[in-house]
Structure 1
Amino acid sequence: MKLSGVLDKAIALHDLTVEEGIFLLEQDQSSAIEAIRQAAEQMRRSLCGETVTYVVNRNLNFTNICEQHCHFCAFRRDAGDDGAFWLDNAQLLEKATDAVHRGATEICMQGGLNLEAKINGRSLDYYLDLVRSLKKAFPQLHIHAFSPQEIEFIAREDQLSFADVILALKNVGVGSLPGTAAEVLDDQIRRQICPEKLNTSTWLKIVGLAHALGMMTTSTMLCGHIETIEQQVKHLEEVRSLQKIAVKKNYSAKISEFILLPFVGQDAPVVLRKKVGRDQPDLNKTLHLTAVSRLFLGRWITNHQPSWVKLGLAGATEALRWGCNDLGGTLMEEHITTMAGAQGGTCLTVEQLQKAIANLGRPYAERTTLYKKLDKPVQDLPLLIS
């Protein structure tokens, strides 16, 4: 297998095989990795142009009380633990008000799997109430909320179908589902790092069903821990296959973006931290995987975003030279990765995002959650609530 031939195939927008994807990740010479980077950039320019986009958004993590014990998660708590929290609707509305004042067009809402989060004995009613409360106050906000794991949790607790849950959430105003809880879509790895979580086939089923029901999603991969490059490429193949189905069936909804989420181990549970033996992400390996992800996913998923929370703004900005076309969101507050010991921060201003992009000599544009470019960047306003 020749590197130039594989790269030419990818640039021509022909799908790479799993074996070719593995071959690209096996390259360890600096000249080969640079050739992969350049090919990823050529594909990015062809599919997305030079403009780097970003979204003005706010995370709302409504609770960190969770029934599960994932080996990478420093966020979850049991009820009554130090640091456990469960925000009520008034607190969430206060944070949303701040976000709107600062120009947010999106609220990203996820939380722990809290067995007590019910209204009239139903989990679904609790989640519907969260969304209704936000949409009543701010109907213009895009609600990007509830991972496939949360969909599975609600359905399991209330003995509902996944379709029932997705449609109910869609009907009250959820605009898209985060493609988190994917971790690595390989059950051998999942049994080791998140044994209580939904399995690969269930994650794929829920995301595919969301597309069939008209609900857009994103996609992610938790990388840089104990997974192999073969498992990384298998994950990319699963995500690409899912997108192909949505496109070929002409669904109105599909995957809007792909995000690599490198493992942060500094304050993560010791069981996985010891196996990884590294507190912060390996930037070079993450960038290599970033470029290969762009080449492997090809024309099927055109928007690629790094995580500035995990890599830091400098690392995420560098990823814009490895095939990424989007720098993510302002977030305004971030708990999940920060509690694991990430050093990227919890909030960036619009000005910081714009400056980072401009320093690369590339234009920037604010976008919506679903990648519609807005005519005018939103002015960054003073922080009202920490």
Structure 2
Amino acid sequence: MTAFTEAKMTGSVSEILERALAGEDISPAEGEILLQQRDRDTIEAIRQTSDMLRKRQAGDTVTYVVNRNVNFTNICEQHCSFCAFRRDEGKEGAYWLDADTIRSKIDEAIQRGATEVCIQGGLNPQAKLHGTSLSYYINLVKQIRQTFPQLHIHAFSPQEIQFIAREDGISYQETIAALHDAGVGSMPGTAAEVLVDEVRRVICPEKIDTQTWLDVVEAALAVGVFTTSTMLCGHIEMPQQQIQHLQRLRELQEKAVSRQYPAHITEFILLPFVGEQAPPALRRRVGRDQPVLADILLLTAVSRIFLGNWIANHQPSWVKLGLAGATEALRWGCNDIGGTLMEEHITTMAGAQGGTCMSVEQLQAACTSAKRPYRERNTLYEPVYSACKNSR
């Protein structure tokens, strides 16, 4: 292995990395082997492999998006064991933003150059008080679309889609198609947590199961709605379960390609568990409040090696890792530094220390410190040329 002559690796790890560099998909068993490595030289070889694959699959330029999160309600019928965001209706801190407040937030984002708004919220049963649940969500999207026609609306997780469909007794595909017609351009692949039901039964027993998440995302891709993909990592899951999650994402993307769906999964984002303000039961079980950077970086690298042939764009979470940790992840297979967000409540309320907003200048400086060129992109990873004049 010419690039890793100094590394002290077992033959099996060396062979796995050689096959990955030859362009082959590694197997789940091989991915698990990589995640189990603890030798410093071997981990460095894994990092180098992920970095070379990143360069080949996505290039050297680090991308970012100017966007704003709007979490329109924290009232939620579910009680996920890792969530410090949700509230019951009428309880202290519960909120449901009205249309004027949402428009004001988005108008501020437009003034700061945003090309995307990400809309997500709790599962609020009040959504159907004045009609169907779907009609509330459609009206929300239409109001944004009519006021800000230039903005890409990235909205509603698979969990929210299932909630709307369940409340109204309609199919996932019908729900997604109606929202797409109203103006939703893409869907966040959140609520995936870990796509292994034995883990989900502990951390989010009220949430959709693995197959439902996969079914909703496949329905979106079949309709023509692009999605992202995520993994909530660093809590109770084991390496085998992390790889099972990655395998299910890879299989879904392979299916989308083979069936020639009009859309595909655009990116993969690791979301490290932050437990500082999480409910006590899971916090005690995990035994730590903040992510372990070394563990997240190894998983970042293995995710690139395992998924990169199918999902080329990989992004760290500066909210969870801090900007320094996210910048380091650019050396471990990531090609995107994320978005400006402008506000972020869900992770911050759990005790994350990365902040809630990044300026474009801060993201660009992070790329420069990593000795990489940068470029603004839109939600679908197309260049935003008007912002490129200061790119390196």
TM range (shorter): over 0.9
Measure how far apart 1:376 and its partner are: 2.9
Helix, strand or coil for the counterpart of 2:107? Answer: helix
Map 1:26-65; keep pairs closer than 5 Å.
26-65=36-75
Residue equivalent to 1:187: 197
Measure how far apart 1:378 and its partner are: 7.8
CA–CA distance in structure 2, aligned partners of residues 110 and 326 of structure 1 = 22
Residue equivalent to 2:3: none
Measure how far apart 1:119 and its partner are: 5.3
Q: Which runs of 5+ in 2 are unaligned?
A: 1-10
Helix, strand or coil for the counterpart of 1:221? Answer: strand
1:102–1:379 contact (8 Å) kept in structure 2:
no
Map 1:248-327; keep pairs closer than 5 Å.
248-327=258-337
CA–CA distance in structure 2, aligned partners of residues 182 and 245 of structure 1 = 18
Helix, strand or coil for the counterpart of 2:102? Answer: helix
Counterpart amino acid of residue 135 in structure 1: R
Helix, strand or coil for the counterpart of 1:260? Answer: strand
Residue equivalent to 2:86: 76
The answer to whether the aligner puts 1:197 opposite 2:207 as a matched pair is yes
Helix, strand or coil for the counterpart of 1:96? Answer: helix
CA–CA distance in structure 2, aligned partners of residues 243 and 278 of structure 1 = 33
Measure how far apart 1:138 and its partner are: 0.5
Q: State TM-score, norm by structure 1.
A: 0.97
Give deviations 1:115-145, integer Å, cap 9, x for gaps.
Answer: 0122533110100011000000001100000
Measure how far apart 1:12 and its partner are: 1.7
Helix, strand or coil for the counterpart of 1:219? Answer: strand
Task: Select 1:153's aligned residue among 154, 163, 183.
Answer: 163
CA–CA distance in structure 1, aligned partners of residues 337 and 281 of structure 2 = 32
Measure how far apart 1:379 and its partner are: 10
Helix, strand or coil for the counterpart of 1:2? Answer: helix
The answer to whether the aligner puts 1:219 opposite 2:229 as a matched pair is yes
- Indicate the percent of aligned positions where both proteins have the same amino acid: 62
Map 1:79-118; keep pairs closer than 5 Å.
79-118=89-128
Question: Which consecutive aligned stretches of 4+ in structure 1 deviate over 3 angstroms post-superposition?
Answer: none
The answer to whether the aligner puts 1:208 opposite 2:197 as a matched pair is no
The answer to whether the aligner puts 1:331 opposite 2:341 as a matched pair is yes
Residue equivalent to 2:173: 163
Counterpart amino acid of residue 33 in structure 2: F
2:54–2:308 contact (8 Å) kept in structure 1:
no
The answer to whether the aligner puts 1:4 opposite 2:42 as a matched pair is no
Change (3 A) 1:14 1:379: closer
Helix, strand or coil for the counterpart of 2:125? Answer: coil
Residue equivalent to 1:133: 143
Counterpart amino acid of residue 235 in structure 1: H
CA–CA distance in structure 1, aligned partners of residues 389 and 117 of structure 2 = 17
2:340–2:358 contact (8 Å) kept in structure 1:
yes
Residue equivalent to 1:364: 374
CA–CA distance in structure 2, aligned partners of residues 379 and 85 of structure 1 = 41
2:276–2:350 contact (8 Å) kept in structure 1:
yes
Q: Which runs of 5+ in 1 are unaligned?
A: 381-386
Residue equivalent to 1:384: none
Measure how far apart 1:300 and its partner are: 0.2
2:266–2:313 contact (8 Å) kept in structure 1:
yes
Residue-pair matches, total:
380
2:375–2:388 contact (8 Å) kept in structure 1:
no
CA–CA distance in structure 2, aligned partners of residues 32 and 378 of structure 1 = 38
